[in-house]
Structure 1
Amino acid sequence: MLYFYNMSRRDKQGAVFKALADDRRREILDLLRDGPLTTGDICLRFRKLDRCTVMQHLGVLEGAGLVIAKREGRVRWNYLNVVPVQEIYDRWISRFARPSVELLGRLKRDLEE
């Protein structure tokens, strides 16, 4: 995880986009949205994948800063970190969505008149 914090903003966002590009990693993030899960719990949700593959996906997510892992004895808890997603939203999505929302608002007003 320290690696993520030493990356430039551009590299961080590239790592986030790369992590989000895979369906299974997005599914893992969806699972973690409801609360932290152990690695074992996540593995149980992906019966077609072996534990090593799930760990690789978690490693990509952790490397992108989307997952924070904490060890409690032999158990590894995985927590969703939404900060990188918010940064992507702030930089990319909100900037492009704003003109569309304004256009729809004008269209609605024009149609109502």
Structure 2
Amino acid sequence: MSNSLPTEDTEANDAGQSLTSNPLLLFFVVVAATIAISSVLWWVVLPLAGQSRADQKSVEESVYYEGCNEVRALGKAPLHRGDPGYGLHMDGDGDGIACEPRPDE
């Protein structure tokens, strides 16, 4: 006597067979997985593999500005940590953004 109710094993097997027997569905699953993996690499892994702190410091020190008035006059504001010319002396709140727009601007 056979059991007419599907079991977890038969449901999993049926799902696997439908995926491999339908090339279009398999194509879309592979494309979706590729996009997901690429997104993780682009937004998570690559930034972490970027500049070392020493390299970042070297870039920051490649240009020097006396202060935010000079940066604004040159149209370079705001400066972000890692940008040429960024310096803690211009980042009053230490958030990594120097010469932020003034409240009255």
TM-score, structure 1 normalization: 0.26
Could you say which structure has the higher helix fraction?
Answer: 1
TM-score, structure 2 normalization: 0.28
Task: Choose 1 or 2 for highest CA Rg.
Answer: 2
Could you say which structure has the higher strand fraction?
Answer: 1
